[in-house]
Chains A and B, each alone.
Chain A
Amino acid sequence: MSGWDDLPYEMPIGTIDEDTTDRLLAGRIHPDDAPPGYAGVARILQAAGSLPRSEHLSREAELVAAAREVMSLRSPPGGGAGGSPTRHRRALAGLIVTGALLGIPGLAAANALPDPAQHAVSRVLHKVGISVPGNEDHPASTGQEISNIATTTSSIGVAKGAEISTAASGGKSQAGQHGRQAGQHGRQAGQHGRQAGQHGRQAGQHGHQRNGGARSSHTPSVGGTGRADAASNGKSTHGTAKADVKSGGRSSAGSGNAATVPTAPIEHGGGKPAAHP
């Protein structure tokens, strides 16, 4: 005989179910009791499962000692050099978070962050009662504060606008420092009289204003000018401070005036009443 083809007989191999498969693999079927064709399988599996343990135990003393050594190198549970990679990663992540929590406010306190980040961190820390540079950049940062300045200042005209602008920009605005100023240059309210929203010449200069000139009032408005206001008898929402300057502070410029000055139509040549919503 030289190979499997020369075997003297062939035994039919039956089909085995899951339970028989499991019992064969577990070595619980004796070869004599195996299904047809599986006697040899049962013997091989039994042989494979009967471990020749003694021949592998020659290194027992050596490897048990080595095991004791590696176990002694490992720190007690909860920390130490023998920690798992996962533990190291967690520790690293904790360090990063801690560093961020301590480092960012530190940089903010040193005013060393880029401006947007500095403002953002400053706002956040301000809410928790920590003051770092960046909070006071805008001393009048709310609309209410700006409004208060606008309604209470004694400045008028360009000076008033500059004051408001300076407050709103935290001192960065250069409004009123350059360019021509109302009352000194350019066309001025009351002289040339072209009034915003009205197309006519300004009352007081050419006698078109019905009520004899601009009304005197404070100028609570944050926008608007005297021209249109004067022309519209206090109803204008547009214009500049020129009228206010020109009228010696008596112009009822500004949209705020529009709400306080009685409405009256303007009668003058060529002038049109300002449209109001």
Chain B
Amino acid sequence: MAGFEETLVAAREGEAGALARLFRLIYPRFVCYVGAVTPTDAEDVAADAWLDVARGLHRFEGDEQAFRAWAFTIARRRLLDLQRSRARRRTDPVEPEDLVGAGGAGDVEEEALARLGTGWAIRLITSSLSSDQAEVVILRVIGELGVDEVAAIMGKRRGTVRVLQHRALRRLAMVLEGQGVTR
């Protein structure tokens, strides 16, 4: 398996296998990230972002972590473009009843979490948190990005991102523990 640097060099030359490796590295993340904001447009926006990445591949220099951060910057720009052009609901809200609707007799959390998939988890995150909090969590979890990278992508200060992520986790905990919700 070629290292990231070799993959990048080959991808710049248009080598299909290398491009496929980069595709697998970022495209599913794009879909999840964009889908958290606008589920119905996730595939299209992710595809556009991927093509933007391909167009700009010759300009990129860095390792895999930097590549993810750069790619998410592009995806976020695409997302903002879409949001500007459309007035659309940010998310499909999830009612608390849906989370416990299965109504298992014992451990509700276990039953709910047993049904968790990535999409469901992301929907829970986006419906429970403010948009900034949700974006920080998703970029950190799905993009596997650090605080500094998320701050750069979102155009916020490092301390702001730290506060947002701390409040986001506490809020998620409160939602899951059923201690009331106030954003």
Could you tell me which A residues sit within 8 Å of B by CB distance?
A: 1-5, 7-8, 10-11, 13, 16, 18, 21-22, 24-27, 37-41, 43-45, 47-53, 56-57, 59-60, 63-68, 70-72, 74, 77, 82
Find chain B residues with CB under 8 A from A74 CB.
Answer: 55, 58
Count how many chain B residues have C-beta atoms less than 8 Å from C-beta atoms of the other chain. Answer: 60
Chain A proximity mask over B48-61: 1 for CB below 8 Å, otherwise 0:
00110111011000
Alpha-carbon gap, A268 to B177, bound state (A)? 125
Asked if B100 and A68 sit within 8 Å, CB to CB, the answer is no
Partner of A60, one of B24, B57, B165, B181: B24
Closest residue of B by beta carbon distance from A24: B169
Bound CA–CA A68/B12 (angstroms): 9
| A49 and chain B: residue at smallest CB distance | B141
How far does the Cβ of A15 sit from chain B's closest Cβ, in whole Å? 8
A25 touching B162 in the complex, CB below 8 Å, given contacts A57-B27, A66-B51, A67-B19? no
CA distance in complex: A37, B120 (Å): 20
A40 to B174, CA, bound (A): 10
> Which of B116, B137, B144, B173 interacts with A37 by CB under 8 Å?
B173
CB–CB A63/B27 < 8 A: yes
Inter-subunit contact A40/B108 (CB<8 Å): no
A5 touches B178 (CB 8 A): yes
Contact indicator A67/B97 (Cβ below 8 Å): no
The answer to whether residues A82 and B27 also contact, given A47-B118, A67-B50 and a CB cut-off of 8 A, is no
Q: In the complex, are the beta carbons of B176 and A59 less than 8 A apart?
A: no
CA distance A179 to B136 in the complex (A): 91
Q: Which of B103, B162, B176 makes the CB contact (< 8 A) with A41?
A: B176
Measuring CB to CB, which residues of chain B are less than 8 angstroms from any residue of chain A? 12, 14, 16, 19-20, 23-24, 27-29, 31-32, 43, 46-47, 50-51, 53-55, 57-58, 96-97, 100, 103, 108-109, 113, 116-122, 124-125, 137-138, 140-142, 144, 147, 162, 165-166, 169-170, 172-181
A37 vs B14: C-alpha distance when bound (angstroms): 49
When distances are taken between beta carbons in the complex, the residues of chain A under 8 Å from B51 are: 63, 66-67, 70
Q: Does the CB pair B14–A51 fall under 8 Å?
A: no
State whether B108 touches A1 (Cβ < 8 A).
Answer: yes
Residue contact B113 to A68, C-beta cutoff 8 Å? no
A-B contact pairs, 22 of them (CB 8 A): A4-B181, A10-B179, A13-B179, A27-B141, A37-B177, A40-B113, A41-B173, A44-B124, A47-B118, A48-B122, A48-B141, A49-B118, A52-B117, A56-B27, A56-B32, A57-B23, A63-B27, A64-B16, A66-B51, A68-B19, A71-B55, A82-B55
Q: Which among A5, A51, A57, A72 has the greatest number of chain B C-beta atoms within 10 A?
A: A51
Q: Which of A1, A10, A60 contacts B177 (CB 8 A)?
A: A10
**B42 to A, closest residue via Cβ:** A56
Residues from chain A with a CB closer than 8 A to the CB of B27 are 56-57, 59-60, 63
Output the least CB separation between A26 and chain B (Å). 8
In the A-B complex, the 9 residue pairs with the smallest Cβ-Cβ separation, listed nearest first, are A40-B176, A67-B54, A7-B178, A4-B178, A47-B121, A56-B28, A48-B121, A47-B116, A53-B28
Q: Choose from A7, A38, A51 the contact partner of B32 (Cβ within 8 Å).
A: A51
Bound together, the chains give a CA A18 to CA B159 distance in angstroms of 11
Q: Say whether B14 contacts A60, CB under 8 Å.
A: no
The residue that A21 contacts in the complex, of B20, B120, B169, with Cβ under 8 A, is B169
Q: Are A40 and B177 in contact (CB under 8 A)?
A: yes
A77 to B12, CA, bound (A): 11
Bound: A47/B108 CA distance, A: 17
Minimum C-beta distance from B136 to chain A (A): 9
Q: Assuming the A-B contacts A13-B170, A25-B165, A44-B116, are A52 and B28 also in contact, with contact meaning beta carbons closer than 8 angstroms in the complex?
A: yes
